[in-house]
Structure 1
Amino acid sequence: MTATDHAVELVHTAARAASDKLAKQIIAFDVSDQLAITDAFLLASGGNERQVKAIVDEVEDKLREIGAKPIRREGLRDGRWVLIDYGDVVVHVQHEEERSFYALERLWRDCPAIDLPADVASHER
């Protein structure tokens, strides 16, 4: 099984939104073979709590524009690791320190990556 076209559309929209707010290390995984509850994960990082919140706001705004509403959101108050669950896609926006510590890429490395659009830039230092 692979991620649905709808899930990939959500990933692409969320990745563009994160890129617009200068997110770092933007990557997406097709987790549909590993998890029954979602098709894809999108990971993005911010350098501080304010940037994490700005990325989250932009992702939510852009996904709302295409009719997607989050089922739940966790972690926004702290701004260190925000999880936004859209059913088909779960977006993780992490502070760089949390990203390094929890290393979700390592956990999901056996899952295929989802190619992101060419206009998505990971804004590395």
Structure 2
Amino acid sequence: MDSLKLTQIAVEAADDKHANNIKVLDIQEMSIVADYFVIMDASSSRQVEAIVNEIEDQVEANGGQIGHKEGNKNSSWILLDIGDVIIHVFLNEEREFYNLEKLWSDAKEVDITKWTKA
């Protein structure tokens, strides 16, 4: 499965669990680490966990694999590595603090309006 399709699956799963302010950054020309960063936040640890679980379930149901997971249900930031897609699920305050969008400000933002219910 290509990285854009994996990104779409992750975004749709996160949107189903009401993730806040989902952003996808295309970092293919900037890094060898991944093709896309998916960044989002949630208002509680329980919601972070629900979002992560749904992303994992949907990726695996569609034939993808979770390569690595950093963080646990009590974490304020969980990172999922699904190959060429890195997913960051933050608590609101942590996202503001780390501000990955600013760190990767030269990356192109992917239009995800067709993947979300808005």
Q: Which bracket does the TM-score occupy, shorter chain normalised?
A: over 0.9
Q: Distance in 2 between matches of 1:28 and 1:113?
A: 6
Q: Which runs of 5+ in 1 are unaligned?
A: none
Deviation at 1:52, TM superposition (A): 0.2
Q: Percent identity?
A: 36
CA contact (8 A) 1:28 1:41 kept: yes
Q: Which residue is equivalent to 1:9?
A: 5
CA contact (8 A) 1:80 1:98 kept: yes
Letter in 2 for 1:15: V
CA contact (8 A) 2:69 2:81 kept: yes
Q: Distance in 2 between matches of 1:74 and 1:38?
A: 16
Deviation at 1:92, TM superposition (A): 0.4
Q: Distance in 1 between matches of 2:75 and 2:4?
A: 26
CA contact (8 A) 1:12 1:117 kept: no
Q: Which of 72, 79, 86 is 1:76 aligned to?
A: 72
Q: Which residue is equivalent to 1:46?
A: 42
Q: Does 1:55 align with 2:17?
A: no
Counting matched residue pairs gives 118
CA contact (8 A) 2:46 2:73 kept: no
Q: Distance in 2 between matches of 1:11 and 1:111?
A: 15
Deviation at 1:101, TM superposition (A): 0.6
Q: Which residue is equivalent to 1:91?
A: 87
Dislocated runs of 4+, deviation >2 Å: none
1:16-46 CA distance string (max 9 Å, x none) = 1001001001010111111112111001111
Q: Which runs of 5+ in 2 are unaligned?
A: none
Q: Distance in 2 between matches of 1:119 and 1:60?
A: 17
- The alignment yields a C-alpha RMSD, in angstroms, of 1.4
Q: Distance in 2 between matches of 1:110 and 1:34?
A: 8
